[in-house]
Amino acid sequence: MSQEKVDKKRYEREHRRSIIRKKKIEEALSILCVAVIGLAIVVWIGFSIYTKATTAAEENATYEYYDITTEAIQDYLGTLN
């Protein structure tokens, strides 16, 4: 083996814990990034579906306004006369 390989093996043997820790941190960060991106996509799709459903419901909705208090007063005033 060349001297470079020997030095590399020696360095890896001496710093094994820090190398393993760095690899674990990198794996955790990559999993976290993928999870955040996946969650963002799911939330975006859910929000899009929700807005489309609410706009469709608003377009199909019919509103009828009954003012019961005014009707009751008018009926009462009509019976007084």
Range of the domain at 36: 3-80
Phi, then psi, of 65 in degrees rounded to 5: -110, 120
Q: At what angle do helices 3-14 and 16-60 cross, to 10 degrees?
A: 70
What does the alpha-carbon distance between residue 13 and residue 1 come to, in Å, rounded to a whole number? 16
User: What is the reported pTM?
Assistant: 0.57
Domain count, the chain: 1
Whole-number pLDDT of residue 76: 81
Whole-number pLDDT of residue 77: 82
User: pLDDT per residue over 32-77, tens digit each?
Assistant: 999 999 999 999 999 999 999 888 877 777 767 766 777 777 888 8
In the predicted structure, residue 19 carries a pLDDT above the cut 80: yes
Phi, then psi, of 15 in degrees rounded to 5: -115, 30
In the predicted structure, residue 81 carries a pLDDT above the cut 70: no
In the predicted structure, residue 2 carries a pLDDT above the cut 80: yes
Q: How far is CA 55 from CA 7, 37, 59, in A?
A: 67, 27, 6
